[in-house]
Chain A
Amino acid sequence: MAETARKEETVVAQYGERKIVIIPRYCKGCDICVKVCPAAVLDMKDFKACVVDIEACTECMLCEMSCPDFAIEVHQSGKKGKAK
């Protein structure tokens, strides 16, 4: 995981046990994660991905799997959406 193994700067959004971690240095602003997300959780800001609505996240993992650059990680809480 980025914080421990790679020691990269991260931007972490948290909601209960759910964590979405973005590593800005890896993100190339391709917009794939934003577009594949079924819940409008993400957006681009200054060519970097950012979390705008973590409560909506269904933890489907599509953003993490579809990011070509290892720039986003979803640490699942086991609950979907606004379930804290």
Chain B
Amino acid sequence: MAFDYDQYMRPGKLPHIWCPGCAHGIVMKSIIRAIDREQLDKDNTVIVSGIGCASRMPGYVDFNTLHTTHGRALGFATGVKMAKPSMDVIVVSGDGDALAIGGNHFIHSCRRNINITLIVFNNNIYGMTGGQFSPTTPHGRLASTTPYGNPDYAFDVVDLAMGAGASYVARGTAYHTVPLTRLIADGIAHRGFSVIDALCTCPTTYGRRNKLGSATDMLLWFKGNTVGKKIVDKKPEKAEGKIITGVFRQDEKPEYCDEYAKIIEKVSD
């Protein structure tokens, strides 16, 4: 039986705005399947986004949805969660939205360990605005604002989340949809700040400018150029030249709203 996406979709919104071959739709479907696995209540779920292609995702799905200002989704999400801690809060954000303008909120949400799940749609570019480089565009790549090659070096989203203290950190790809669904679902289930670096593609701006082939070529590239963390843990040499996917951290750590609830209990009139 096909997965019934319709129960989680707002009617009449398809076809969506993303380009032919853009992997965002694949990641969105993974998120929907993850929400289904966790059996979240639609009325009790909030999806928050900032600005960019990834941030258009919430409009398509049938939850409480909040499309905010560039980079600030985590701030809005924190207000929602603190005011109604019983709600399930998911944030979707692009690499530019989450790590450039949103960088401060990214690291503090990790540090705070508030029970929100962040999925970074990481396609190494600012797609919506026509292909400017982002904090995850690799050195040397062409973008509309690095026409001679990017002099800059990229963040590793996983390293950043780990360093900032997130208690659940994982990376998946839009090619590996089955593990990606599980990583997102486990992130939602995790009681703390969860970061999933979801590698995806922008064939239209990043792909064409850097001659990375078709949309399918870019998606299939993940197949040959990534390696699972469980393999690398046993055979470190397998990581050579590859991007590592899997779960990097899954720790039980005091969650922010729980800590605040203890304060309320202690001082309540």
For chain A, give the interface size range: 20 to 34
Contact A69 B6 (CB under 8 A): no
B14 to A31, Cβ gap below 8 A? no
Residues of B within 8 A of A76 (CB): 1-2
Q: What is the bound-complex CA distance between A25 and B15, given in angstroms?
A: 7
Give CA–CA (A5, B4) in the complex, Å. Answer: 10
Interface size on B, residues (CB 8 A): 31
In the bound assembly, the distance between CA atoms of A53 and B115 in angstroms comes to 47
- Measured between C-beta atoms, what is the minimum distance from A77 to chain B in Å? 10
A5 pairs with B6, CB closer than 8 A: yes
Interface pair A69/B220, CB less than 8 Å apart: no
Q: Is B177 engaged at the interface, CB distance under 8 Å to the other chain?
A: yes
With the chains together, A34 CA to B215 CA distance in Å?
Answer: 12
Q: Can you report 30 A-B residue pairs in the complex whose CB atoms are below 8 A from each other?
A: A1-B4, A1-B6, A26-B14, A26-B15, A28-B19, A28-B20, A28-B21, A30-B20, A30-B215, A30-B216, A31-B214, A32-B21, A32-B216, A34-B216, A35-B216, A35-B220, A36-B220, A64-B2, A65-B26, A65-B177, A66-B26, A66-B175, A66-B219, A67-B25, A67-B26, A68-B21, A68-B22, A69-B14, A70-B5, A70-B14
